[in-house]
Amino acid sequence: MRTSSQRRRLFRPRATAVAVLAGAGLAFAHTTTGATLAGPILAAAAGGHGLPDPAAPVPSPVTTTPRPAPNSTLPFNAKLTSDDIPVPGGGVRNGACSGSLIAPQWVITAGHCFHDLADARIGGRPPYTMTVTIGKVKDTDPGGHTARVVDVKQSPVNDLALAELDLAINDIPPVTLNTQRPVVGQQLQFAGWGSHSATVLGPSDHLKRGRFTVSGIGQSTLEAQPVGKRTVENGPCPEDSGGPFFTSDDDHTGTLVAIVNTGPPCPQPGAETIARVDVVANWIREQTG
């Protein structure tokens, strides 16, 4: 993400049409259907004796299909999407961000992924539905988890936020928080679900990955340069906001060093500005503990 004119923001205007919501609350209504019970209670109400009918067929045992396991490649990565973000003047639009699982019920992402109509970062329950998918590297992967954000904590020092989920995810190892000051020359990996264009927005259907080198260290941010030629597949683009910059020895677990904030229009060369995790590691533990 960048300044108000540059950031790969969740709230950058889309090319898609804006639609006015009518009865949006119905979209997530749940209807509970009562099952008809057969047995002594119904039999007694009908004037019977409340005893099973020996001639009645024996029901087949219920079998449960095991849930597919999350993808083992960087399972902590998170894709955040919304299709009901309010816009000034009425109506809604789509948007997306990226992130990482840092605790069973918490995801870390960019602070500006949660904002009001004036584009100011906000905490608390978001004013739009944010769906989080964790444990996939492609939209078509059978495993993984889907949750919704119910609360947001904004970092006091940089463009970083913690999003609380409506369910705990216990079969994916969260990223470890880096607590050491990064050094110039340190090698980092990047992962995100952002677009493949600086102008045509829409999240990717697969996890993008790349490699970067720390080139500068600020008080609460880092600068990172891509290793090799930058493309829309190996570097942050719009909607990669919050994507992790991390280290990993096994492509399964990871240590989170920073998250995507802003950078040059993809796929142009130049340094990414990323929010440091080590300077807020204690604060993160306090919020998620």
| Residue 30: Cβ-neighbour burial (10 angstroms; 0-12, 13-18, 19+) | exposed
Q: What is the mean pLDDT of residues 265-279?
A: 96
Are 93 and 168 within one domain? yes
Are 141 and 183 within one domain? no
- Residue 7 reports pLDDT greater than 70: no
Instruction: Read off the pLDDT of residues 23-72 as tens digits, 9 standing for 90 and up.
Output: 333 232 333 333 333 333 222 233 333 445 556 666 656 556 677 889 99
Q: Which residues are registered as beta bridge partners of 134? A: 78, 145
Are 123 and 213 within one domain? no
Give the domain CATH number at 278: 2.40.10.10
The answer to the question of residue 228 being in a domain is yes
The answer to the question of residue 261 being in a domain is yes
pLDDT higher at 17 or 153: 153
Question: What tokens were used for 127?
Answer: 């004013």
Range from 11-25, 84-98, 184-198, 227-241 carrying the lowest mean pLDDT: 11-25
Are 186 and 280 within one domain? yes
Are 168 and 192 within one domain? no
The answer to the question of residue 4 being in a domain is no
| Domain endpoint, select from 156, 172, 188 | 172
pLDDT of residue 66: 76
> What's the distance, Cα to Cα, between the start and end of the chain in Å?
28
| Domain endpoint, select from 172, 193, 222 | 172
Instruction: Read off the pLDDT of residues 214-268 as tens digits, 9 standing for 90 and up.
Output: 999 999 999 999 999 999 999 999 999 999 999 999 999 999 999 999 999 999 9
Are 150 and 88 within one domain? yes
Are 166 and 185 within one domain? no
Rounded to 5 degrees, what are φ and ψ at 112?
Answer: -75, 0
Q: What is the mean pLDDT of residues 89-117?
A: 97
pLDDT of residue 53: 56
**Structural domain harbouring 276:** 177-287
Give the whole-angstrom CA distance, residue 188 versus residue 74: 14
pLDDT higher at 31 or 279: 279
pLDDT of residue 67: 77
Q: Is omega for the bond preceding 40 within 30 degrees of 0, making it cis?
A: no
Are 160 and 234 within one domain? no
| Domains: count for the chain | 2
| Domain endpoint, select from 130, 150, 172 | 172
Give the whole-angstrom CA distance, residue 129 versus residue 163: 12
Q: Which residues contact residue 42 at a Cβ distance below 8 angstroms, ignoring those fewer than 6 apart?
A: none
Are 231 and 159 within one domain? no
In contact, 148 and 130? CB cutoff 8 Å: yes
Among all chains, which residue has been given the structure tokens 């108000």? 4
The answer to the question of residue 108 being in a domain is yes
Range from 62-71, 86-95, 273-282 carrying the lowest mean pLDDT: 62-71
Are 141 and 167 within one domain? yes
What's the per-residue H, E or C state across the chain?
Answer: CCCCCCCCCCCCCCCCCCECCCCHHHHHCCCCCCCCCCCHHHHHHCCCCCCCCCCCCCCCCCCCCCCCCCCCCCCCEEEEEEEEEECCCCCEEEEEEEEEEEECCEEEECHHHCECCCCCECCCCCCCCCEEEECCCECCCCCCEEEEEEEEEECCCCCCEEEEECCCCCCCCCCEECCCCCCCCCEEEEEECCCCCCCCCCCCCECEEEEEEEEEECCCEEEEEECCCCCCCCCCCCCCCCCEEEECCCCCCCEEEEEEEECCCCCCCCCEEEEECHHHHHHHHHHHC
